[in-house]
Amino acid sequence: MSRNRKAKWADPAFTVVANWRHITLHPASPVMTLTWSNLADGWKQRWDFSGEYEHLEANPKRKKLETPRRLSWRECARIQTFDAKFTPIGDTESKFTQIGNAVPPKLAEAIFTHLFSGAGLVAQKVPGARKGA
């Protein structure tokens, strides 16, 4: 895992991205700390898991993951408002790509409902146009 890409338990999730390597850590995973960085020589950074679980500070009864992990493609799909029965095709990488590149269904529904209802239409006067033409 290359980065500490993790939202706090009660905070909004980060954007679901199409690159499976950059998916957010599960909020019950331990905190990652930067242990090494050498950007000058072209190397990136090294992040390691600590023994700290920041989500337990707010509520010690919350579960913690002993084995850290990123969100699954199914968890990402639910965050994106896909139905629980939705299953994208292909391998795991392809599933993350499809989910991350998709317009969330509930967002599309809100936009298209508004457009198709005509509620967002505004009559425009065109200079020089004749009525009924």
Which residue ranges make up each domain of the chain? Answer: 20-117
The answer on pLDDT for 85 being more than 70 is yes
State the chain's mean pLDDT as an integer. 85
What's the distance, CA 5 to chain centroid? 11
The answer on pLDDT for 3 being more than 70 is no
Mean pLDDT across the stretch 89-117?
93
Predicted confidence at residue 27, as pLDDT, reads 87
Q: Name the pTM for this structure.
A: 0.72
Predicted confidence at residue 1, as pLDDT, reads 54
Query: What does the alpha-carbon distance between residue 70 and residue 86 come to, in Å, rounded to a whole number?
Result: 20
More confident residue, 51 or 120: 51
As given in the structure block, the two tokens for residue 107 are 């967002």
